[in-house]
Structure 1
Amino acid sequence: MPTLSLLDQTLDYVRLHAATPRAGAPTLVFLHEGLGAISIWRDFPQRLTDAVGGDALVYSRAGYGRSSPAELPRPVNYMHTEALRILPALLDALAIERPVLFGHSDGGSIALICAGATATALSGIVVLAPHVMVEDITIAGIQEARARYETTPMRDRLGRHHDDPDAVFWGWNNVWLDPAFRDWNIEHLLPGIDCPVLAIQGEDDEYATLAQIDRIADGAPDVRLLALPDCRHSPHADQPDAVIAATAEFIASLTPAST
């Protein structure tokens, strides 16, 4: 797997290509969740890339997967650091122009911050179960995750995907349960998003209510919403066909049809 030295980090990444390319299709950039990595996406990035007809970048942020360790404890503004500093530098280093950011959970929040607070040129963003503010259900879900990590084989499962599962879990869990994080909110950045947004959330999300995507629709200029029934916090895992279909339709609306 290739690596990229970027600023003070070394990041693992993969580049994907559609089986049947479509002229004008944008590059997808996959931004993983707070416990995610390249391998946790499984085959979903390739399936979506094939449906869209373009190329894709999938990478593990520092501290995740096989990328270099991250400095712990994570600061309360760790997602801002990723969105404002690391992601634009990564796109520039790999010469990726006007991509569609595809972010899940933390990755969705990072996509929104990048779109709303940087000059990065984007064709669009797709966010799955993003957070724009901290809800009581979010705190309760993360507290429950802590109990599972301490009492179930969850650590072993994470260890299949990360060099240091303890650093991954506690780096995420501790910052979200930090009282200073309770006031974290990115709604003020939403009006600055100048590209179309597709926001997807499961109706049974254990970490958030549909107020998250409703607030995105209230704040950003061009937003399409999709609430999925029988779906929890990972729509691409619980309802992959629905997510692929909605994303392919969204991206097709951004680009001219090939002739």
Structure 2
Amino acid sequence: MHAIDSAPREQVVGSNPAAHADPYAPFPVTADPGAWGLTHAVVSTSDGAAVVHHRPGPDPLLLLHGVAGSWTTWTPLLRAADGVADRGLVLVDLPGWGSSAAPPAPLDVDASARVLTAVLDGLGIVSVDVVGHSMGAFVAMHLAVTEPARVRSVALVSGTTVATADAARHPLRGLRTLPAFTLLRAGLAIVGEAARPVLRGIARVGLLPLVASPVFTHVRRLHPSVLDAFVDELRPTGFTGAARSAARYDLDGWGAVTCPVTAIAGRDDVFARVSDLDALGALLPRVRTVLLDDCGHFAHVEHPDAVARVLGLA
């Protein structure tokens, strides 16, 4: 079976913005599943219904969105990833995210892993390579803990891992270590779902780039569809629920993960710290870490060509 390659730890891609041969954020976000031959399905699970876009094929790849994301957030990477042309694909909107209906309460990490297990069972998929962004990276690691025989490899793309879990547990310390995450969590906890119409209003008056600028290194070079998706996919209740789950999570359990892990981080990421790469190296027995210059929290959108190459998908 094919798995994402594991290599020696710490590779830095690009020493300055001009070092990238690839254009920044070259592709739009699209909601057209037909471009990749994806079939729409709804899988009922004990933790809620999940909308799934999938394509049967060998060596399936499971792609997990983060906060302010859905299956569509992966479409720039799919555009860059010629290596997925003949592979199976599974893109899941977890309950409460994307097009999936919200469950009575936000899913924690355990419930998210159960949903994914049910989806894979429903599709008859025995083993997968898993790629997760942000919150999805956290869930991907937990799936590798709970389903070690099923997960062949894990890739963390702009993953919120060690520093984020620490900031969620210790908000006062988080104000120093991850102020953007900590302040966003506090703000969303106060305003709740009212944040979504507020963001839409900000977008209408043309100020969304100012609000989104901490998340992306070059916000004004993004295709408009990227910022539209950022607004449409934000789920304040889900965000605060995910933060609570991360605060309770014991990261030491990741030490049991024996499959290859690749962690890709952006040097400008305000929701994670570059030091997470070293911390993951101490936690995981088999990890390759890659640091992308000129990159914020959406590496697969900002530098999809580089991410595809790192993961052996180009």
TM range (shorter): 0.7 to 0.9
Q: Verify: 1:10 aligned to 2:49, yes or no.
A: yes
Any idea what SS the aligned residue of 1:134 has? helix
Aligned to 1:56: 89
Instruction: Please give the residue correspondences for 1:110-259 in structure 2 after superposition, counting only pairs within 5 Å.
Output: 110-130=139-159, 131-132=161-162, 133-135=165-167, 136=174, 137-144=177-184, 146=187, 150=198, 152-153=202-203, 157=228, 161=232, 168-173=235-240, 176=243, 183-248=247-312
Q: 5+ residue gaps in structure 1?
A: 253-259
CA 1:139–1:94 in structure 2 vs 1: closer, same or farther (change >3 Å)?
Answer: farther
Separation in 2, partners of 1:200, 1:33: 14
Aligned to 1:256: none
Q: Which runs of 4+ in 1 moved over 6 A?
A: none
Match of 2:103 among 55, 59, 70: 70
Match of 1:94 among 106, 111, 123: 123
Any idea what SS the aligned residue of 1:123 has? strand
Separation in 2, partners of 1:33, 1:185: 17
**C-alpha deviation, 1:169, in angstroms:** 2.0
**C-alpha deviation, 1:159, in angstroms:** 8.8
Aligned to 1:255: none
**C-alpha deviation, 1:223, in angstroms:** 0.5
* Equivalent position amino acid for 2:239 in 1: W
Contact kept in structure 2, 1:82 and 1:110, CA below 8 Å: yes
Contact kept in structure 2, 1:190 and 1:216, CA below 8 Å: no
RMSD (Å) for aligned C-alpha atoms: 3.0
Separation in 2, partners of 1:200, 1:120: 24
Contact kept in structure 2, 1:235 and 1:243, CA below 8 Å: yes
Q: How many pairs are equivalent? A: 232
**Which structure would you say has the larger RCO, counting Cα contacts within 8 Å and 6 or more residues apart?**
2
Any idea what SS the aligned residue of 2:150 has? coil
TM-score by length of 1: 0.77
* Equivalent position amino acid for 1:205 in 2: D
Separation in 2, partners of 1:196, 1:174: 29
**C-alpha deviation, 1:161, in angstroms:** 4.4
Any idea what SS the aligned residue of 2:89 has? strand
Identical pairs, percent:
22
TM-score by length of 2: 0.65
Separation in 1, partners of 2:70, 2:247: 27
Separation in 2, partners of 1:246, 1:89: 29
Match of 2:75 among 18, 21, 42: 42
**C-alpha deviation, 1:160, in angstroms:** 7.2
Separation in 1, partners of 2:230, 2:132: 22
Contact kept in structure 2, 1:16 and 1:46, CA below 8 Å: no
